Structure 1
């Protein structure tokens, strides 16, 4: 017997049986026959370990143990989607699209929005190479071993595929599998899981992949990204992905206009409850990839796609009490404590009341019967009061006047909806919240240190601000509750490793009010170091691209505070990065200094990203849209007609990539 050929033939057969059963839902062999063939393959692989293959069907049973999931960067960023809640929102979105593209014929791909855990899977030479969770969009956790156990995820592809690409999708738990898991838990006296989405997401982070293999997870795939993909539209991409062996839901439809999009939405709004898994809306994408390229991205989401969310489920329940939470900026958030009620697959006991104005507007009172819905299917909120059920002795809600944590008199700035506790450096939730923000993944990403541990450190007097973290040692941490030698060492090492985090993320981590990720990047890029930023005047800051007066004022206030300066100086002394580390580029020049370029179309000698990098490397600025400040438009094939028309009106020079290269000579 030729052992190697027998092994290869068995693998091929079992892959096809898996595909027929889990992707096509058309089994061509009995479970017993499948198990016999799988056992034969296992025996041959055990006897001949020289033919081991990490993508063999025998590896789907799991068994690999992952203690710490490695954080890895996404080669292509995973963006989130803008949400819409009405057809009017979609009409407005189409107008924005047409404003950029002009009156060109548009087609849309309509897909159901699956309620699961996002995943990005990399394939190289037709084999599953890596699977990474969404994380913060820039980086996520490597969960490859766990993803390989999901039977609908192909370990090797069929047909003619590119050498390398990523495919994005959603890991879900179908209702039938979820109910069986819960029934098994109930029978052994354990607490059942609350909803399929959270259970699917939690399954990806189980340390033992053999346990993941026992869970009936599924993977629905919907977007491919990479270089030189063999199709020119989203819908063709879905069709091609099916041919390669991916489970791409057949509900997706090509719509020739917005009316057909509305028909798709109306149909699935009525029929979504017949699906075997959760869906909370429809994703509408501009179909043509060239159009997608022209439209580009905002800081958070693609301009060429939008999610339409189905109307939220509503329930009524009793409001038992109102409590008040203090955030890291001192903002007070009133919270409704409710009689527990089932809503959209989860048990809801609390809901946000937002602020004093919202309480007054709805006249919300303790002991009222209230209507609750999930805003965007995520955060529960009270939308109305059932006045017919209001008790006779009901009293209007009087908003608190003092901080519930430190008793400071609350303030409310003119033009703002929130009340604030002004005790910035003495109010415990504010201090803990700022440190928790500092260590968060998008900020300093300190491994071994979580939100609960921060509270533990503060409550035991070990830290009073985020600079104190850098003076912690293992001996101080060991006596704390739930702290062993290894976890204490990991915490200290994680803090020390954070010294390598780049300046723009450190700036975000400082927690300056209104300075989010995008603003922090702009300020870091403009000022280069913390000293220059701290000395900037209000007018200097306002003149920075996209920095308004509110942000500028907040930055000024931060650096006017002596305690903040002391903390920043301490962080500097510990080695935290407070300046941009310029990557040396031997080809960089300042030939394009002071010039703004807009890039449009498809190019032969550059990719669009390479072209933009060349502009920035030579001192120029890349604009997202054409304006009177634009100096040149670098145009390739299929430049958008709307951009062409606007360039003509503003008399902006349009140059080819060859002419652009001459500018650099």
Structure 2
């Protein structure tokens, strides 16, 4: 794969993985299997390793969860609740330990002890205690902002309401789950009463916890197991294992299979033991989590993108089953992409009945030789719809499947750009599937989060000609009288919708930018761009300048593909008109970074030459904790250059431009004093 092909594939992966994150975390309605999702993550990581210059600002490696539901109050986490990178083999685990050693510049005689614990398949939850009393419980949400579920969590017997001997402030984190036996009993009761029957314990736990009425949660058999912590007013201990033991002594339930391992080999042996016990455990697990045991090392290692450098999840192999591919349907997304979906003869895989599977694209269909009527082998890991891993009847003499050349929604031509895997409808705004999907994206939870404006309402208003583009949503108040006369719309529901729209006029600018649907610009990219430029107007001005692509590319993590997409978007007159209309109707606040405020906040730092007391990754992490932006090249906008031995052209350019230059020792003082 050449660089152009890799860039296109990374672009597709970023969007596809973001979509599946929203389905899984936000809607509890996953569309693909864990194994399928993990395969996409692995492919993305492999391509980023091979083409580091193409790493995107919206890379899945920097994403966490999904935006919190609008049905519950939102809570900003004192410390982000991030996800974990995955390992799928013993070699992956050894690579993880090697990365830790390299980052910390450890000597050959220093071993890396790990803790190992079962990875429970539940819903992440944070419990905050102040003065020994439980004051807040929150879901992970998108990692930065979660949902307030305090009243619901108080009904869970495993969760202590008060603590004795704890730090004044301690935030304990773990998994809310439902045991296999309790799940089976709950589904029996639900079926007998005509209620919802859940697909699996994880969905049952998530749905039970995220209730507006705590009495519903209280009637559900939820449990809690502790696996970590967030903010504390004092250190818990010097090691991960000692901290876990202290929290267990305070009354938090801890799985007995959590142990300290002196090295990677011991951790892998524990993984094998747990895998053998997996079927007999009282709850579902999908792997084993390893964490660096020394907390001072964890602090130095810090985080990268969406995950800590000091932990990794070693996933179990997928489960498999055989079934028949009954139909191939084509769905049209908001960008015009035609996605094939396989309809399967329902089959049980790992205790879950599945009937649908994404087939990704025309190349995947061709690779597997899929046709309607084929007997296929599918696999799943966890609780979601699986992937097709093998066509068992591809040698049977039947015609090959022909991917459509026209859009099923508008009959426009469907084409793939040169080198592109995906086929897209060329209908643009005239395609009803794209128009509706773009509007749905704009009001979605990850974007503007307008409560009450769902697909049904969007379709209704579009058919009436009231909304064709996002700015029309903020003009719906003009149709209040007409809407009151329509079936299903009463004064209360109309006013609630209009109030929800009005409330979003003061939304944050990153979500508005993401909601515009610019290709390759996910919510992380939007935040990175606005962290640099502050406002959408300033971003537009930069994009339209003569050096626009260069300026955008200089933003950390924004490569040339993303920069060109933003540049192209703002060079289209109709896009600028729509942005101007939105900014005239809405009032997005300038983006405010969540990084710690220091004298270096918003400044640009360049590291060059060799670093002798820390790795380049650790230096970059230090700068980002100060609120600074790390750039790869020196320009007139650079504020500081940290130069080590062997610094060359970057140091020379900094001196020519009169930019402040410090050595590694001076940089350490800056970090310590900030």
TM-score interval (norm. to shorter): 0.7 to 0.9
Task: Specify which of 368, 386, 393 is matched with residue 387 of structure 1.
Answer: 393
Matches of residues 108-257 of structure 1 in structure 2 within 5 Å?
108-158=114-164, 160-188=165-193, 192-227=197-232, 228-257=234-263
Task: Specify which of 645, 658, 664 is matched with residue 654 of structure 1.
Answer: 664
Task: Specify which of 428, 436, 440 is matched with residue 424 of structure 1.
Answer: 428
Change (3 A) 1:457 1:135: farther
Structure number with higher relative contact order (C-alpha < 8 Å, ≥ 6 residues apart): 2
Deviations, residues 186-231 of structure 1 (Å, cap 9, x unaligned): 4445563221111110011223222221211101111112232221
Task: Specify which of 502, 507, 515 is matched with residue 513 of structure 2.
Answer: 507
CA distance in 1, matches of 2:485, 2:288: 51
Deviations, residues 24-65 of structure 1 (Å, cap 9, x unaligned): xxxxxxxxxxxxxxxxxxxxxxxxxxxxxxxxxxxxxxxxxx
Question: 8 Å contact 1:338–1:349 — kept in the other structure?
Answer: yes
Question: 8 Å contact 1:83–1:307 — kept in the other structure?
Answer: yes
Task: Specify which of 83, 88, 104 is matched with residue 86 of structure 2.
Answer: 83
SS of the residue 1:121 aligns to: strand
CA positional deviation for 1:532: 1.8
Partner residue in 2 for 1:639: none
Change (3 A) 1:173 1:480: farther
Question: 8 Å contact 2:607–2:641 — kept in the other structure?
Answer: yes
Which has the greater radius of gyration? Answer: 1
CA positional deviation for 1:522: 2.3
Change (3 A) 1:68 1:117: same
Change (3 A) 1:122 1:610: farther
SS of the residue 1:655 aligns to: helix
Change (3 A) 1:570 1:178: same
- Say if 2:354 is the partner of 1:348: yes
Question: 8 Å contact 1:67–1:207 — kept in the other structure?
Answer: no
CA positional deviation for 1:460: 4.2
SS of the residue 2:314 aligns to: strand
SS of the residue 1:150 aligns to: coil
Change (3 A) 1:102 1:574: same
CA distance in 1, matches of 2:579, 2:440: 17
The CA RMSD measured in Å over matched residues stands at 3.4
Deviations, residues 109-134 of structure 1 (Å, cap 9, x unaligned): 11111111111111111111111111
- Say if 2:571 is the partner of 1:560: yes
CA distance in 2, matches of 1:662, 1:292: 18
SS of the residue 2:415 aligns to: coil
CA distance in 2, matches of 1:613, 1:385: 48
SS of the residue 2:328 aligns to: strand
Change (3 A) 1:151 1:547: same
- Say if 2:308 is the partner of 1:302: yes
SS of the residue 1:69 aligns to: coil
CA distance in 2, matches of 1:573, 1:521: 21
Matches of residues 1-150 of structure 1 in structure 2 within 5 Å?
68-103=71-106, 104-150=110-156
CA positional deviation for 1:411: 1.5
CA positional deviation for 1:492: 1.5
SS of the residue 1:425 aligns to: helix
Question: 8 Å contact 1:411–1:419 — kept in the other structure?
Answer: yes
Counting matched residue pairs gives: 571
Change (3 A) 1:570 1:182: same
Deviations, residues 473-513 of structure 1 (Å, cap 9, x unaligned): 24354455654433332222222222222222322221111
Structure 2 unaligned regions, length at least 5? 1-68, 633-637, 649-661
Matches of residues 354-373 of structure 1 in structure 2 within 5 Å?
354-373=360-379
Change (3 A) 1:106 1:487: farther
Change (3 A) 1:420 1:162: same
Matches of residues 598-617 of structure 1 in structure 2 within 5 Å?
615-616=626-627
Question: 8 Å contact 1:294–1:600 — kept in the other structure?
Answer: no
TM-score (norm 2): 0.77
TM-score (norm 1): 0.78
Task: Specify which of 508, 532, 535 is matched with residue 541 of structure 2.
Answer: 532
CA positional deviation for 1:570: 0.6
CA distance in 2, matches of 1:397, 1:84: 35
Question: 8 Å contact 1:312–1:377 — kept in the other structure?
Answer: no
CA positional deviation for 1:648: 6.0
- Say if 2:420 is the partner of 1:411: no
* Stretch deviating more after TM superposition (311-320 or 68-77): 68-77
Task: Specify which of 435, 442, 446 is matched with residue 438 of structure 1.
Answer: 442
CA positional deviation for 1:263: 0.8
Task: Specify which of 327, 330, 338 is matched with residue 324 of structure 1.
Answer: 330
Partner residue in 2 for 1:268: 274
CA distance in 1, matches of 2:427, 2:88: 39
Structure 1 unaligned regions, length at least 5? 1-65, 602-607, 634-646
Change (3 A) 1:391 1:291: same
